[in-house]
A and B are shown apart, each in its own frame.
Chain A
Amino acid sequence: MTKRMQEIIISGLVLLVILFIGFNSAVYFFRLDITENKMFTITDVSKNLFQDIPEQVHITYYVSEKIKNLHPLPLQIEDMLNEYAAYSKGKITLTVKYPIKQKLENETQALNIYPISFPVQEQGEYREIQVYMGVAIQYLDKYVVIPFINQIETLEYELTSSIRNLVKNKEKVVGILLGRSDLTFQHYQALVEKFSPTFKVEQVARGEDIPENISVLFVLGNADLNEFDLFPIDQYIMRGGKVLFAVEGVNVNLQYMVGFKLENQPLLNMLARYGVVVKPELVVDNLPVPIRDRLGIIMQRYPYWVVAHNDFVSKTNPITSKFGGAVFYWASPLELKLPDDVEGELIVNSTDQSAVIKDQFNIRPDQVMVQYEMAKKDSMQSYGLVAVVNGSFPSYFSDKDIPFRKGEDRKWEDKETKSIHTRLVVVGDADIGAALFDTTNLYSNIVLLTNCAEWLSNDDDLLQIKNRSAQSMDLYKIQDKEKRANAAGIIYVLNQFFVPLLVIGIGVWRYFSRKKKQKLYEQGSV
């Protein structure tokens, strides 16, 4: 064999080895996220999602091109979608489309994706622009659409649960039953929007049987629920239904800025029977509350709004193991007095600096600090705010007659007196999911509620998905306009002129020093 032939064969073999290593590295790989907040790390549940996907899932991200240069969110969304595609071993594909540039308005309309007003900051000034930022997930001939994504915190959860539900053809339904007449379904619109597309949300009427398709029931508020309304809820639980109760021991009247105790209230009595006592008191605490305004987040102290701190939550319960915080509005303390066959845990508590106000609930912001300081003297400790209980519950109506409305035919004839094994969550705050949450705390209340829904519906692994923290990524560290402009000017001159001139300067200096050396050398040699 000639040497040339040998070289050709070796070259071919080297090419084969390179291809072999290349293919192997594509199969056996890892991705290292070296960003401080692990911005791009998705949880194992999301990474391993491809194992549940028999056919290919197509994700289409519709985004306006102009917003990409004005706000970090669109790229963060694209990054996360890219992570799904990167880990999916080809089972998830991502396409980014620009509806305006590519004239795709008809396509987006068919998917119910429309441009939405979005605040951006330019030259330090805020303004609103109309942008697309929606996602369509397609599996075979089925679609799930997230029409507009306005925050990154809950996106991973929404994507993973949507893909999983789509692939498994499983529809989870949350029933919402309102227990306060002053609150309508509209007050929970933001909650409902955040629940979809993971859960389908249906309103459940008071005093009606709970429909069979409801996976989880949310009872929001309790002030106006009577025993007739409670019977179908109790029987739903007896049949193994899973329920979250967001309740209050003190009803707050915002018009008069006072609170009224709810004593001997039927739903609170029913919960006490299941093992959770909601006290007719209000928890006060000293942690400042994040309030969202148009300039961002500001911190304010209002002791009746209680911030749940990470140190005072259960680390073992899946709902709170990745706790991202929550704010409770006029919360009542909870206590566990568990019946036989029931286990329970207070999974979210106020800090050890909190106290309770037992009567005369004056909720005016200018007077509450004084009340807090007084309450602290004799009741400072940590109080339960969210309880989980599971087991076989005794019916609230086991030793009571089946309720009926006067003047109406009897609606129910039979009752169950002991439940099959099931789970309940009790939150000592009837407002936790109402519109108020939108003004505070960056959706962590919603994450808490969706985590509760997942735990109740037994999809515990989805609870691994943590609440992603939103990081400040602006260039406004220097607030003073003049100082900022000066700093910007210095940075511009430094990078645009000084550093390049320095490089040229070094070159010139080296040229002349070489010339000098050469001259000296020539003189020496002469």
Chain B
Amino acid sequence: MLANILTITKKELKSYYNSPIAYIVKAVFLVFMSLWLFTVNQFIPRGIADLRIYFMMIPYVFIFFIPAITMRSWAEERKMGTEELLLTLPFKEYELVLGKFMAAFFLLVIMFCASLVLPVSLSALGDFEWGQIIAQYIGVILFGGACISVGLFVSSLSRNQIISFIFSALTLFLIIIISEVNRMIELPLVIGNFLNALSFNYHFEAFSRGLIDTRDIMYFVLVSGFFLYLNGKVLVFRKWL
């Protein structure tokens, strides 16, 4: 089972790195985040050794970057007609789904490894709270995993990469910012709490501060698991159609 998943993961990672997408997404991400921090937010002149402003932007960046990674996963297979071929291979649906998920997830992790240069270089100017930075990285990785599973699911529903991108971005946008409604209008407590419970951003907030809360970990793990499960079911149901 694990061997099958790893085979798919390797194949997918190879295909990411054989296309310019992986490099472009990474480079654009790094340039954009640096611009956000140094130019838009004037991080160094402001003089506060706290990278929260950087990490709090990442959820919004994910709205565009994760769909860019996941849009081709299933949509392209369907468009090229390779999905049927994949489904006839001796892999189970969940192995295919997990393999694709792992590949996109590794891509994300590698992208964030490159971003580590930022806090390390900035530590020459001030004493950062490294525990907080570690929690922030754990948070974005879990957050990213959940976003990838949503993106993969949406991609599995579509034949067209662009449509997959747009719908993934819209879905992520809704899930990420849903708790912001609470800030804009005063809602009844039950509804407000419900919206918070659904929102990615709300569950990322504690990580951004340096706190690891099992509720947030479970939320991201369950959301990832749920969408990956749905993704697998889409493949199963499609077999019958």
Our pick among A34, A123, A504 for the contact of B27 (Cβ within 8 Å) is A504
Complexed CA–CA distance, A193 and B89 (Å): 74
Within 8 A of B (CB), among A65-122: 69-72, 75, 79, 82, 86, 90, 93, 96, 121-122
Query: Given the complex, which residues of A lie within 8 Å of B225, measured CB to CB?
Result: 18
Complex contact A90–B193 (CB within 8 A): yes
**Chain A residues near B125 (CB, 8 Å)?**
475-478, 484, 487-488, 491
A 47-73 binary contact with B (CB < 8 Å = 1; else 0): 000000000100000000000011110
Assembled-state Cα–Cα distance A4/B129 (Å): 53
Please tell me if the beta carbons of A495 and B47 are within 8 angstroms of each other in the complex: no
Residue interface bits B209-226, CB-to-A below 8 A is 1, else 0: 111111100110010011
Interface contact B121-A491, CB-CB below 8 Å: yes
CB distance from A70 to the nearest CB of B (A): 7
Check if B226 sits within 8 Å of A503, measured CB to CB.
no
> Contact at B229–A4, with CB atoms within 8 Å?
no
Contacts of B121 in A (CB 8 A): 490-491, 494-495
B114 lies within 8 A of A476 (CB)? no
Give bound CA distance, A507 to B22, whole Å. 8
Known: A32-B212, A33-B211, A475-B47; 17 extra A-B contacts, CB below 8 A, are A11-B229, A15-B226, A18-B225, A18-B226, A21-B218, A29-B215, A35-B131, A37-B129, A56-B189, A86-B206, A474-B48, A491-B124, A492-B34, A496-B31, A500-B26, A500-B30, A507-B23
Query: How extensive is the interface on chain B, given as a class?
Result: 35 or more
Contacts of B31 in A (CB 8 A): 496, 500
| Interchain CB contact (< 8 A) of B38 among A31, A492, A504 | A492
Report Cα–Cα, A37/B236, bound state, in Å: 51
Known: A484-B125, A494-B121. A475 touches B213 (CB 8 A): no
Confirm or deny: A506 has a beta carbon within 8 angstroms of a beta carbon on chain B.
yes
Q: Is A520 an interface residue (CB 8 A)?
A: no
Query: Nearest 4 pairs between A and B by C-beta?
Result: A507-B23, A25-B218, A34-B131, A475-B126
Q: A123-B45, A477-B127, A491-B121 are in contact. Are A29 and B233 (CB under 8 A)?
A: no
B42 to chain A, nearest CB (A): 9
CB of B10 closer than 8 Å to a CB of A: no
Instruction: Tell me the complex Cα distance, A72–B48, Å.
Output: 7
The answer to whether A31 touches B211, judged by C-beta atoms less than 8 angstroms apart, is: yes
* Choice from A82, A475, A499, A503 contacting B23 with Cβ under 8 Å: A503
- Would you give 16 A-B contacts (Cβ < 8 Å), ordered by A? A4-B237, A7-B236, A7-B237, A30-B214, A39-B132, A40-B210, A72-B48, A93-B189, A124-B45, A476-B125, A496-B34, A496-B38, A500-B26, A500-B27, A500-B30, A506-B23
Q: Do residues A18 and B127 form an inter-chain contact, with CB atoms below 8 A?
A: no
Q: Is B15 an interface residue (CB 8 A)?
A: no
Closest partner residue, chain B, to A21 (CB atom)? B222
Q: Which residues of A contact B124 (CB under 8 A)?
A: 477-478, 487, 491
Rounded to whole angstroms, the CA-CA distance of A476 and B46 in the bound complex is 10
Task: State A88–B83 Cα separation when bound (angstroms).
Answer: 49
**A residues near B28, Cβ cutoff 8 Å:** 500
- Write the B113-138 contact mask toward A (1 if CB under 8 angstroms, else 0): 01001100110111101111011000
Q: Which residue of B lies closest to A79 (CB)?
A: B209
- B82 contacts the other chain (CB 8 A): no
| Chain B residue nearest to A508 in the complex (CB) | B23
Assess whether A514 is in contact with B18, with CB atoms less than 8 Å apart.
yes
Query: For the complex, what is the distance from the CA of A41 to the CA of B198, rounded to whole Å?
Result: 25
Q: Which residues of chain B are near A295, meaning CB under 8 Å?
A: none
Contact with A along B172-214 (1 / 0, CB 8 A): 0000000000010000010001000100000001100111111
Instruction: Check if A70 sits within 8 Å of B46, measured CB to CB.
Output: yes
The answer to the question of B61 belonging to the interface, with a C-beta cut-off of 8 Å to chain A, is no
A140 at the interface (CB under 8 A from B): no
CB of A370 within 8 A of chain B?
Answer: no
Is A186 interfacial (CB 8 A cutoff)? no
CA distance A14 to B27 in the complex (A): 39
Given A11-B233, A22-B222, residue A75 in contact with residue B211 (CB < 8 A): no
Whether, in the assembled complex, A254 has its beta carbon less than 8 Å from a beta carbon of chain B, the answer is no
Residues of A within 8 A of B183 (CB): 96
User: Which residues on A sit within 8 Å (CB–CB) of B37?
Assistant: 495
A69-B46, A488-B125, A504-B23 known; A35 and B132 CB under 8 Å? Answer: yes
Residues of A within 8 A of B197 (CB): 26
Tell me, rounded to whole Å, the shortest Cβ–Cβ distance linking B115 to chain A: 8
Are B41's CB and A121's CB within 8 A? no
B12 part of interface (Cβ distance < 8 Å): no
Residues of chain A contacted by B24 (CB below 8 angstroms): 507
Q: Are B213 and A31 in contact (CB under 8 A)?
A: yes
